[in-house]
Amino acid sequence: MTSIRVLLADDQALVRGALAALLSLEPDLEVVAEVGRGDEVVEAALRSVPDVALLDVEMPGADGIEATAALASAVPDCRVLVVTTFGRPGYLRRAMEAGASGFVVKDTPARQLAEAVRRVHAGLRVVDPSLAAETLVAGRSPLTARETDVLRAARDGGTVADLAASVHLSEGTVRNHLSAAIGKTGSRTRAEAVRIAEQNGWL
């Protein structure tokens, strides 16, 4: 029996180790690479030629959604299963748009996770059912690409001038984007807009 070759990407070494140990107990699954950063995924995949990559969403270097898109372009034969602590509707939609074949949360039982790997490898889509329902209800992000960029920059605080410098826009344009984002998220301040957008997985 040919094993399904698996790449794991998670910035928490403990979680990565636990996932590797659980998946290795399955006779048809073989963990061939482990990385702790999103920007190491493509290089590791080119080296180890996995069939399925299990990617966390929040990682340094590049997040799991950016890594999914990069992997889809560089190693199109490798299918992606996003495994995350953060079951946010916006993350699911963005991951699928980036080319992921599946999206499950980390507290999925080991047997179900192994089955999800097999299903994705077989060309099927696997999505956490409660999250799928939430995503349909939540709909698409109301933010434009520029408003999203400005809110991402606003996560670290800073003045309007700081934000303008980091996103290469004028201060007036940044103020306009911030006020539009505050309006669309139904918030009162930019910090609240950032929080609401993050909770929905729009950033």
**Residue whose C-alpha is closest to residue 150's, from 127, 125, 184, 124:** 184
Query: pLDDT tens digits for 39-75?
Result: 999 999 999 999 999 999 989 999 999 999 999 999 9
Residues 74 and 172 in one domain: no
Beta bridge partner(s), residue 30: 5
Tokens of 190: 């930019």
Average pLDDT over residues 135-164: 85
pLDDT at 96 over 70: yes
DSSP state of 182: H
Is residue 137 very low, low, confident or very high in pLDDT (cuts 50, 70, 90)? low
Residues 25 and 117 in one domain: yes
Alpha-carbon distance 153 to 120, whole Å? 34
CATH number, domain containing residue 133:
3.40.50.2300
Average confidence score pLDDT of the chain: 90
CATH number, domain containing residue 191:
1.10.10.10
Residues 85 and 26 in one domain: yes
pLDDT at 122 over 90: yes
**Domain-ending residue, one of 137, 158, 186:** 137
Domain range holding 34? 4-137
Alpha-carbon distance 41 to 46, whole Å? 9
Report how many domains make up the chain.
Answer: 2
Alpha-carbon distance 177 to 170, whole Å? 11
| Residue ranges in the chain assigned as alpha helix (H) | 13-24, 41-48, 64-74, 89-98, 110-121, 129-138, 145-154, 160-167, 171-185, 190-199
Q: What is the pTM of this model?
A: 0.69
Is residue 133 very low, low, confident or very high in pLDDT (cuts 50, 70, 90)? low
**Domain-ending residue, one of 109, 137, 165:** 137
pLDDT at 110 over 90: no
Average pLDDT over residues 1-10: 92
**Domain-ending residue, one of 118, 137, 156:** 137
Residues 129 and 150 in one domain: no
